[in-house]
Amino acid sequence: MPRARSRYAPDRGLTGRMVTTMFLIGLLYVVFVGVLLAALQGSWPIILVIAGGLFIAQFWFSDRIAAYGMGAREVTPEEAPELHGAIDRICALADMPKPRVAISRSDVPNAFATGRSEKTALVCATTGLLRRLEPAELEGVLAHEMSHVAHRDVAVMTIASFLGVLAGIITRVALWGGFARTRPGNDPAGILLLLIPLISAVVYAISFLLTRLLSRYRELSADRAAALLTGRPSALSSALTKVSGQMARIPTEDLRKAEPYNAFYFVPAFSSKESLGRLFSSHPTLERRLDQLARISADLSR
């Protein structure tokens, strides 16, 4: 028999947004591949094989690639008893199987979760986070990350980002001249080949916006679910404030290394105040997250 759902509060808003995002991304993917097939009729088998292969690789290996890129190393209970103990308590509260536990040796105070399902899930905390947070604050952060696993939005974000990655690659190839060598004149095939970079750029932009909108909502959903599960929204608020405040003290080089993985992190890392990443951030503002937690705390106190 299938295992019962976890005790994390369900979020119909998140579920609806995930379904809508996947539908729109899927529709965009079909249109995108269709345009490529129409433009490169003689190469359609190669296009289908490459697109299918990239999709399978993205789905099966992207979480491992992300974990490797962020320096995650699995640890045993003997190596990290405090971290394992906190995750054990959250699993007991949520009635969830225990994920793999990892530590990233980075002074950037953060945490993240990856995995296609509960069986393949990995929850990682950085050494900077473990050193700075109190036990209750750490549990709040880990409960936040575990909610991503319970709601399966990590897998959805992984799949949803695939088309943007593919479109971005094709756009770069086109800029390097890959599609520029086409026949002159008014030949329809040549015109269509010239349109591919433009179509790829539009697809990338739409995919980027869809994943950003979903990402911001899922972070609010994870904060809410973690606060309700632990019953201590103030601890999560304290962790958010402390981690966000400490980011300014982290060396710029370390922040730049962390920026590409912001969509996975508990709190985004920006290397400068003028960074464009702030404008298109994968996370809601700190003020919005704290306001939500304050409302939850007031509701729980009643």
SS (H, E, C) 27-59: HHHHHHHHHHHHHCHHHHHHHHHHHHHHHHHHH
Question: Which residue out of 137, 139, 145, 219 is catalytically annotated?
Answer: 145
Residues facing residue 129 across a β-bridge:
none
Q: Which of 286, 254, 279 is nearest to 109 (CA)?
A: 254
Burial of 289 (0-12, 13-18, 19+ CB in 10 A): buried
Active site residue 145: yes
Residues facing residue 126 across a β-bridge:
104
* Helical ranges in the chain per DSSP H: 12-39, 44-69, 81-94, 127-132, 135-151, 153-175, 188-230, 233-246, 252-258, 276-279, 286-301
Catalytic (active-site) positions: 145
